[in-house]
Amino acid sequence: MRMKYVVANWKMAPATRKDAEKLFAALQRMLRDVPDGARIVLCPPHVWLPFAPPASEKVALGAQDLFWEPRGAHTGEISSSMLASLGVSFVLVGHSERRAMGEDNAIVQKKLKAVLDAGMTAILCVGERDRASDHWHDFLGEQIESAFSVVERGATGRLIVAYEPVWAIGGSTPDTPDDALTVALLVRKIARKVWGESAGENLPVLYGGSVEAASVGPFATQEGIDGVLVGHASLDTDAFSKIAGIISGDAA
């Protein structure tokens, strides 16, 4: 059976250390009751990483970003080894909110390589800004092909793709599971072309964008979608543990 993933992207929240500690503690309590059917990855802001409970088989620690250079004079940046030394094993790369701040495909390539070279797992985010033109598949194809071109076949076991249509992020209307599946198939088609049949087939593809407990069911049962990346609902412990339960097969 394929591994399922439930990734929490806390973005720039919560605002204080006290609230972050509370959130970690509440999640630790609630996620205990979630069945073991999925890998849960918590991605808090960098500064709250040291306050996370120790990572376990079930709940791993992720970061939202990193800098591509392993060392050097780079004021304000965070390296892969800093993250690894805090127990981080997953890193988001190319989230659309970072791309909107100027992260282009070339920067995404460098960050992706940095994560994989450090032995961690990269969660590569891709997604079109809108579907106004018929070319949104081409736009996505470019994002995906550019990123995949820097990944060696041997590292594909540590690559996850999260399809997050930008227009669906931060609202309450996710994409349809059918359209998300069409993109997951496109991702795997490109992956097969780049690394061959089995690496392509085994590549996990998640969906993200307005995932909530009420809407996640059809994504959980959609074969070909290997889990979800959750933004605002991941800050609500009830909602997030429900989502994790549904993806784990508890109530799907």
The one catalytic residue in 97, 103, 164, 212 is 164
Q: Which residues bind ligand PGA (CB under 6 A)?
A: 9, 164, 169-170, 208-211, 229-233
The one catalytic residue in 95, 103, 128, 232 is 95
In this complex, which beta carbon is closest to ligand PGA, that of residue 124 or of residue 169? Answer: 169
In this complex, which beta carbon is closest to ligand PGA, that of residue 50 or of residue 170? Answer: 170
Question: Is 201 a catalytic site residue?
Answer: no
Q: How far is the CB of 234 from ligand PGA (least distance, A)?
A: 7
Q: How far is the CB of 164 from ligand PGA (least distance, A)?
A: 6
Q: How far is the CB of 217 from ligand PGA (least distance, A)?
A: 16
In this complex, which beta carbon is closest to ligand PGA, that of residue 79 or of residue 210? Answer: 210
Residue-wise DSSP of the chain = -PPEEEEEE--S--SSHHHHHHHHHHHHHHHTTS-TTEEEEEE--GGGGGGSPPP-SSEEEEES---SSSSSS-TT---HHHHHTTTEEEEEES-HHHHTTT--HHHHHHHHHHHHHTTPEEEEEE--S--SSTTHHHHHHHHHHHHHTT--GGGGGGEEEEE--GGGTTSS-PPPHHHHHHHHHHHHHHHHHHH-HHHHHH--EEEESS--TTT-HHHHH-TT--EEEESGGGGSHHHHHHHHHHHTTS--
Q: How far is the CB of 51 from ligand PGA (least distance, A)?
A: 21
In this complex, which beta carbon is closest to ligand PGA, that of residue 6 or of residue 199? Answer: 6
Residue nearest to ligand PGA (CB): 231
Question: Is 164 a catalytic site residue?
Answer: yes
Catalytic residues: 95, 164
